[in-house]
Amino acid sequence: MNFRSASLAVASAMVLAGAAAAPAGAADADRSGGPPTVVGSPRARAEERVYFGDLHLHTAFSFDAYLFKTTATPEDAYGFAQGRPLKGPNGGVSTIDRPLDFLAVTDHSENMGVMKASGDPSNPLYETPLAKAARDPDPVVSGGAFKTIIAAAKEGKISDMFDPALARKAVEDAWAREIEAANHNYHPGVFTTFIAYEWSSMPETRNLHRNVIFRGGVAPLPFTSIDSSRPEDLWSWLERQRQEGFQVLAIPHNSNMSDGAMFDSVDSDGKPLTADYASRRRRNEPVVEITQLKGQSETNPVLSPNDEFADFEVVNERVGSGIKETKFHGSYVRDAYRAGLTMQESQGFDPYKFGVVGASDSHAALTPTRADRYHGAHGMVDALPQLRLSCAFCKGANDTRRFGAMGLTAVWAARNTREDIWDGIARRETYATSGPRMKVRFFGGWSLAGVTPGQGDWVEASYRLGVPMGADLPRRAGAKSPQFVVWAVKDPDGANLDRVQIVKVWSKGGKNDEQVIDVAWSGDRKRDPKTGKVPAVGSTVDVKAASYSNTIGAVELKGKWRDPDFDPKAPAAYYVRVLEIPTPRWSTYDAKQIGKPVPADLPTAVQQRAYTSPIWYDVPGQ
């Protein structure tokens, strides 16, 4: 028996046995499920580096990816992320411009691998009507199969679509292969993989999906939305797994498609949130996905009318349909921070105290984060520029022209290993980007007078005197206001930087608010004394040529800011947003390639960006 078959046999045994053995390295983590204890001196932490990866990606083992004619397996996806070429359903070959540092393949747990198994003539599933429709070469027919499954999920009847015994066998085999592929491609110090899956609850097509990420090399059979569509039940399962020794966390995604349900003021039973709910949510979901190809979830112009950069890659449709979103409160991260702080102020708990990550959510086994080499993300649905710009298969579904070529997670960690990357995510020392690999540092403290960002041992000093992104800033008696330092360097293969902003959210007297402050910017622009805003950086984008030049902007931006309006009685959170100069959108590159104008209703340029996890002003009860 060779290594691969031996690994698969072990993985299969773990699945069928319920994986009772504890994963390697579990003793290093906090078994309560809370953020791991931060270890290491300020000097050691200052030597950590940032790692970039994708925590959300699908292969042919996901029912929808298979219906989109994606044929690549988890093994193929991990190979692509490391630089190996990947042949797509259109016959073309794609490669990544730079290998990723880490990847989690997160195929849908619901009927995982069942559609793929139904394509095997020797499998009894082959002759089912749904399998026949899925195999049809006409994307319209196979797309009808996708809509059938989405409708079943909406009504909670997805388990009725296949014979239970046949489906379970296919799921067990697929999960064993997921584990085998992750372990086979894990190269500590070089490339990290995570055993993972997506729990895909979508009541009334309101997106409540979570990606479940394991820390170790073995994992039990997934808990699915067929088992329960309630997030609280998923948390109970996660808590039971940690009691068994499996370190695991969940990451909500696409809150922008939840129609207000992701960050609601009530639980799944319609009851008001409680301190116990807040504790459980924070313990099980330390971070959320703030940007991905189906839109950013930072904020919306409706919620942030005074934020001139709030209209970036906005998708206001429910997942898998053209149904328009009507509830913006409860659907965006910044709004959730505001609501959580108000609950903290009035009730003593904050359920929405989470960090942020980014991901692609590609359903083509590749991470499409470069606008100038966008491969699409849904198999044959958008595999070619002509299909993408015409939105040939959008009828009754999402307008995929609105989807962006993004995003990535950045984690500050000591080493590129499962343990270090996972622990960095769990302690929220993370940031998200829409695709570029800019480096960002963000610290807060009460006395950072001797810290000059970008000079000397400023990172070590910041760890010694303050706290990093994702942390609480403890109260200090007599302190007047917190001070923050931020440093950002452009992606060496990307665009120059326009500006660095600090976004402040707070609650006072039961009312919450937000403010966006320009802290550092390129060139000799002056802040408007009336509005406090810095003028636009300008644009070098040539739409016809689908090009830009780095003749404006800066390679590095850094700054310090002290909150002049700080109120020690008002809970607050601060995070950083870094903006690049304008660059052509993927649709502009596509239009040039096929010799057609950019559709009038699409932007020709975008300002790619990064978002850090917040620093919270510590308040009682937290």
In the chain, what percentage of residues exceed pLDDT 90?
74
pLDDT digits (tens, 9 = 90+) for 446-457: 999 889 999 999
**In the beta sheet, which residues pair with residue 49?**
413
Closest CA relative to residue 258, chosen from 326, 352, 336, 331: 331
Query: Quick one: CATH architecture of 3-433?
Result: Alpha-Beta Barrel (3.20)
The number of angstroms, rounded, from the C-alpha of 578 to the middle of its chain's C-alpha atoms is: 17
Encoding tokens for residue 404? 């962006």
What average pLDDT does this structure show over 522-536? Answer: 94
- Whether 84 shows a pLDDT value over 70: the answer reads yes
What burial class does residue 406 get, using C-beta atoms within 10 Å of its C-beta: 0-12 exposed, 13-18 middle, 19+ buried?
buried
What burial class does residue 85 get, using C-beta atoms within 10 Å of its C-beta: 0-12 exposed, 13-18 middle, 19+ buried?
exposed
- Whether 552 shows a pLDDT value over 50: the answer reads yes
Confidence band of 40 (pLDDT split at 50, 70, 90) = confident
In the chain, what percentage of residues exceed pLDDT 70?
91
HSE of 302 in the Cβ direction (CA atoms, 13 Å)?
13
- In angstroms, the CA 53 to CA 493 distance is 16
- In angstroms, the CA 360 to CA 56 distance is 6
Query: In this predicted structure, which of 86-95, 142-151, 516-525, 533-542 has the lowest mean pLDDT?
Result: 142-151
- In angstroms, the CA 436 to CA 267 distance is 36
- Cα distances (angstroms) measured from residue 94 to each of 360, 386, 589: 16, 17, 16
Give the SS3 label for residue 502.
Answer: strand
Encoding tokens for residue 594? 């096929």
What average pLDDT does this structure show over 27-44? Answer: 58
- Whether 416 shows a pLDDT value over 90: the answer reads yes
Q: Using an 8 Å Cβ cutoff, are 40 and 457 in contact?
A: no
The DSSP code for 227 is: T
Confidence band of 156 (pLDDT split at 50, 70, 90) = low
The DSSP code for 98 is: S
pLDDT digits (tens, 9 = 90+) for 244-290: 999 999 999 999 999 999 999 999 999 999 999 999 999 999 999 99
- In angstroms, the CA 62 to CA 429 distance is 30
Report the pLDDT value the prediction gives residue 398, as an integer from 0 to 100.
82
- In angstroms, the CA 62 to CA 515 distance is 41
Query: In this predicted structure, which of 362-371, 385-394, 402-411, 590-599 has the lowest mean pLDDT?
Result: 385-394
- In angstroms, the CA 311 to CA 305 distance is 10
Fill in the amino acid letter for 584.
P
Encoding tokens for residue 33? 């499920």
Closest CA relative to residue 277, chosen from 261, 287, 288, 266: 266
Where are the domains positioned within the chain? Answer: 3-433, 439-617
Report the pLDDT value the prediction gives residue 509, as an integer from 0 to 100.
93
Report the pLDDT value the prediction gives residue 9, as an integer from 0 to 100.
41
What average pLDDT does this structure show over 496-521? Answer: 97
HSE of 571 in the Cβ direction (CA atoms, 13 Å)?
28
Rg for the chain, CA atoms, rounded: 23
pLDDT digits (tens, 9 = 90+) for 120-132: 999 988 888 888 8
- Whether 18 shows a pLDDT value over 50: the answer reads no
* Omega before 478 within 30 of 0, i.e. cis: no
- Whether 620 shows a pLDDT value over 90: the answer reads no
* Residue whose entry in the numeric block shows the structure tokens 């940007």: 291
What burial class does residue 21 get, using C-beta atoms within 10 Å of its C-beta: 0-12 exposed, 13-18 middle, 19+ buried?
middle
Higher pLDDT, 36 or 606: 606
- Whether 155 shows a pLDDT value over 70: the answer reads no
Report the pLDDT value the prediction gives residue 24, as an integer from 0 to 100.
34
- Cα distances (angstroms) measured from residue 77 to each of 373, 478, 539: 17, 54, 36
pTM of the model: 0.92
Confidence band of 322 (pLDDT split at 50, 70, 90) = confident
- Cα distances (angstroms) measured from residue 148 to each of 129, 582, 605: 11, 40, 36
Report the pLDDT value the prediction gives residue 38, as an integer from 0 to 100.
67
What average pLDDT does this structure show over 186-195? Answer: 98
What burial class does residue 259 get, using C-beta atoms within 10 Å of its C-beta: 0-12 exposed, 13-18 middle, 19+ buried?
buried
- Cα distances (angstroms) measured from residue 497 to each of 538, 556, 610: 12, 7, 11
Query: In this predicted structure, which of 418-427, 471-480, 526-535 has the lowest mean pLDDT?
Result: 471-480
Confidence band of 395 (pLDDT split at 50, 70, 90) = confident
Higher pLDDT, 84 or 450: 84
Report the pLDDT value the prediction gives residue 159, as an integer from 0 to 100.
61
What average pLDDT does this structure show over 462-490? Answer: 93
Give the mean pLDDT of the chain: 90
* Residue whose entry in the numeric block shows the structure tokens 């459980």: 280
Report the pLDDT value the prediction gives residue 75, as an integer from 0 to 100.
98
Alpha-carbon dihedral angle through residues 145, 151, 157, 162, given to the nearest 10 degrees: 0
Fill in the amino acid letter for 71.
T
The DSSP code for 338 is: H
Report the pLDDT value the prediction gives residue 77, as an integer from 0 to 100.
97
- Cα distances (angstroms) measured from residue 459 to each of 46, 47, 450, 452: 5, 9, 11, 9
Encoding tokens for residue 209? 């999906």
